[in-house]
């Protein structure tokens, strides 16, 4: 097929997307990074130059939601599928656009993406609904003014069980005016950047909006004042259309909606989080607004519409009911060949660090250890130290995962390399029997897991590789809420992993040795 070429230079810099000058990390000096576009079946080739300098210098880019069926080594996860890209070096990703719809990419090295190493990825494919125009991506995110590393450190050393770090703002496509005079003394403000994102539309026409939650942790509730939205896909899976007024998006999730504007002048678009658990334990959570301009109303028209009532915080932070979210192309649930139970706990280790545990293990990846996928391929004996949290599913054909969350935070759970079936969710434990629409369960790559609740997922072992399964909240990964599923290891050894993967490790080793 055709190849789409991109060139990314990653570097440190400053940016003031909301009027507050922040130390950021940028892709080609843009916040968010550039849009990657392709047609379904194309190859995408992205050359990444790591020009980041500073203490947190390695990097890698993950293509969230792509299956990487032909190239599992291009999944972009340090410790698992590749060595970090060393400072001053270049790595070229090349992979197939093997699914279609709305996606995104982000650094998978520590929580770098919170500082700006992310962008949208749109893969064009068939459409099953009528609309007049694709309005493009709308990225919503909670946003911290401090660099990500200090957010991680403070969260990990906090002695309260509830989330202790609160976002300073929320952005829509990288914008939302912030009252910078409220910021700490010594902050630099640039109010010329403090503007709303704007969208121009025609009344009566129907638009497709591609919503992405690219945030650090908050579950976002997206709406357009006085309008219905028609949901047509979740993550990379088309679903049978249904109407709603609020779209729920956990970090990492995407939803495409149709929207037909009516009215005069302009309308507010909004995203907000519920205060209690879904965005951290505080009563007033930040929200973002953007302006929808109708027809020929002037650029400076400020909307006067009022928002739909905010979502009721019932503590579940749930995605839409599974009864509503039926895939457009049905796939019946196969019999599982194994069921694996996962218990998520929060706790404090001997040195007082606040960590998360999956079945008693907290993943603490060491970027200097061998890479799981490469080690497996060469039949090296890999350190199956419990801290690595690897589950080897051997030759199982369909794997059911029953996850129970024994703590106060919701977790948007993401699996690499697959669209999983979502069988059941709810408060407390699964009854072991109930399955929503076994003839056509919801499928997606990220699903919200409720505080003290369960979610039951299943995926077919059709993609030999090493696939992380983790919470997408930035600091929860660093706190160890991360495990890796090894799928058909004997078939991994058959694959021809390109030499460049080993070369990347050689460069990384040289860099780390230089720095001891
Ligand atoms: Cu978008 Cu492993 O994540």
* CATH code of the domain containing 56: 2.60.40.420
**Residues contacting residue 491 through CB under 8 Å, at least 6 positions apart:** 464
Q: How far apart are the first and last CA of the chain?
A: 45
Per-residue pLDDT, 378 = 64
Atom number of ligand 1 nearest to Cα 468: 2
Atom number of ligand 1 nearest to Cα 77: 2
What spacing in Å lies between the alpha carbon of 471 and ligand 1's midpoint?
A: 8
Mean pLDDT, residues 430-458:
97
| For residue 209, pLDDT beyond 60 | yes
Q: Helices (H), strands (E): how many in the chain?
A: 5, 30
**Hey, what are 71's tokens?**
């190239």
| Whether the complex's predicted ipTM surpasses the cut of 0.85 | yes
| For residue 276, pLDDT beyond 70 | no
Same domain, 475 and 376: yes
Q: CA angle at residue 65 from 61 to 70, to 5 degrees?
A: 80
| For residue 165, pLDDT beyond 80 | yes
Same domain, 379 and 359: yes
Assess if residue 331 is contained within a domain: no
Q: Is 252 in the pocket of ligand 1 (CB under 6 A)?
A: yes
Domain limit, last residue, from 75, 95, 128: 128
Same domain, 383 and 499: yes
pLDDT tens readout for residues 370-394: 888 887 766 555 556 777 899 999 9
| For residue 281, pLDDT beyond 70 | no
CB distance 285 to 279 below 8 Å: yes
What spacing in Å lies between the alpha carbon of 116 and ligand 1's midpoint?
A: 15
Per-residue pLDDT, 427 = 96
Q: Omega before 32 cis (within 30°)? A: yes
CA–CA separation, 371 and 376 (whole Å): 8
Same domain, 95 and 58: yes
| For residue 358, pLDDT beyond 70 | yes
Range of the domain at 73: 1-128
| For residue 310, pLDDT beyond 80 | no
Same domain, 174 and 206: yes
| For residue 214, pLDDT beyond 60 | yes
How much is the pTM? 0.97
Q: Higher model confidence: residue 414 or residue 184?
A: 414
Assess if residue 326 is contained within a domain: no
As a whole number, the mean pLDDT across the chain is: 92
Per-residue pLDDT, 189 = 86
Mean pLDDT, residues 122-151:
96
Q: Omega before 277 cis (within 30°)? A: no
Assess if residue 410 is contained within a domain: yes
pLDDT tens readout for residues 222-247: 999 999 999 999 999 999 999 999 99
* Atom 3 of ligand 1: nearest residue by CA position: 64
Looking at the structure of the chain, the number of domains it has is 3
Assess if residue 49 is contained within a domain: yes
Q: Identify the DSSP state of 163.
A: -
Same domain, 173 and 308: yes
Q: Is 412 in the pocket of ligand 1 (CB under 6 A)?
A: no
The band of 298, judged by pLDDT with boundaries at 50, 70 and 90, is: very high
CA–CA separation, 201 and 61 (whole Å): 34
Domain limit, last residue, from 128, 145, 160: 128
Please identify which residue in the block is written with the tokens 């130390």.
23
Same domain, 43 and 136: no
Burial class of residue 261 in the structure, from the number of CB atoms within 10 Å of its CB (0-12 exposed, 13-18 middle, 19+ buried): buried
* Atom 1 of ligand 1: nearest residue by CA position: 64
Same domain, 344 and 485: yes
Q: Is 254 in the pocket of ligand 1 (CB under 6 A)?
A: no
| For residue 7, pLDDT beyond 90 | yes
Per-residue pLDDT, 383 = 54
């Amino acid at each position: 097929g055709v190849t789409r070429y991109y060139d990314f230079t990653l570097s440190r810099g400053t940016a003031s997307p909301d009027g507050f000058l922040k130390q950021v990390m940028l892709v080609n000096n843009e916040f968010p990074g550039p849009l990657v576009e392709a047609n379904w079946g194309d190859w995408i080739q992205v050359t990444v130059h790591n020009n980041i300098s500073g203490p947190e210098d390695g990097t890698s880019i993950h293509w969230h939601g792509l299956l990487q069926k032909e190239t599992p080594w291009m999944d972009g996860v340090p410790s698992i599928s590749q060595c970090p890209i060393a400072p001053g070096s270049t790595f070229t990703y090349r992979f197939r656009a093997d699914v279609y719809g709305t996606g995104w990419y982000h650094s998978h090295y520590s929580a770098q993406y919170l500082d700006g190493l992310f962008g949208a990825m749109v893969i064009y494919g068939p459409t099953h609904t009528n609309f007049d125009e694709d309005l493009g991506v709308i990225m919503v995110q909670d946003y911290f003014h401090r660099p990500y590393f200090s957010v991680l450190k403070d969260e990990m050393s906090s002695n309260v069980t509830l989330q202790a770090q609160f976002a300073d703002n929320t952005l829509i496509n990288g914008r939302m005016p912030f009252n910078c005079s409220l910021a700490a003394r010594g902050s630099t403000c640039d109010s010329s950047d403090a503007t709303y994102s704007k969208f121009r539309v025609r009344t009566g026409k129907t638009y497709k909006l591609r919503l992405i939650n690219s945030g650090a942790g908050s579950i976002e509730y997206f709406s357009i004042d006085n309008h219905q939205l028609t949901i047509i896909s979740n993550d990379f899976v088309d679903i049978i259309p249904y109407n709603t007024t609020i779209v729920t998006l956990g970090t990492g999730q995407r939803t495409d909606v149709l929207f037909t504007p009516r009215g005069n002048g302009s309308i507010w678009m909004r995203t907000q989080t519920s205060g209690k658990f879904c965005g951290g334990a505080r009563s007033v959570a930040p929200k973002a607004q953007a302006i929808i301009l109708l027809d020929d109303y002037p650029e400076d028209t400020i909307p006067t519409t009022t928002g739909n009532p905010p979502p009721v915080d019932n503590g579940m932070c749930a995605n839409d009911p599974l009864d509503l979210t039926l895939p457009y192309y049905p796939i019946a649930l196969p019999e599982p060949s194994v069921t694996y139970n996962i218990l998520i706990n929060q706790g404090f280790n001997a040195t007082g660090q606040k960590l998360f545990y999956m079945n008693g293990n907290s993943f603490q990846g060491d970027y200097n250890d061998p890479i799981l996928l490469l080690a497996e391929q060469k039949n090296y004996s890999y350190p199956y130290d419990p801290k690595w949290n690897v589950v080897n599913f051997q030759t199982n054909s369909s794997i059911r995962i029953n996850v129970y969350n024994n703590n106060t935070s919701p977790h948007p759970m993401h699996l690499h390399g697959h669209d999983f079936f979502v069988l059941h969710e709810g408060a407390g434990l699964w009854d072991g029997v109930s399955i929503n629409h076994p003839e056509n369960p919801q499928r997606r790559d990220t699903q919200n897991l409720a505080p003290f609740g369960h979610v039951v997922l299943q995926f077919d072992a059709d993609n030999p590789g090493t696939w992380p399964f983790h919470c997408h909240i930035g600091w929860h990964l660093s706190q160890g809420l991360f495990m890796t599923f090894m799928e058909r290891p004997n078939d991994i050894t058959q694959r021809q992993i390109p030499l460049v993967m080993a070369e990347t490790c050689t460069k990384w080793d040289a860099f780390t040795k230089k720095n001891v």
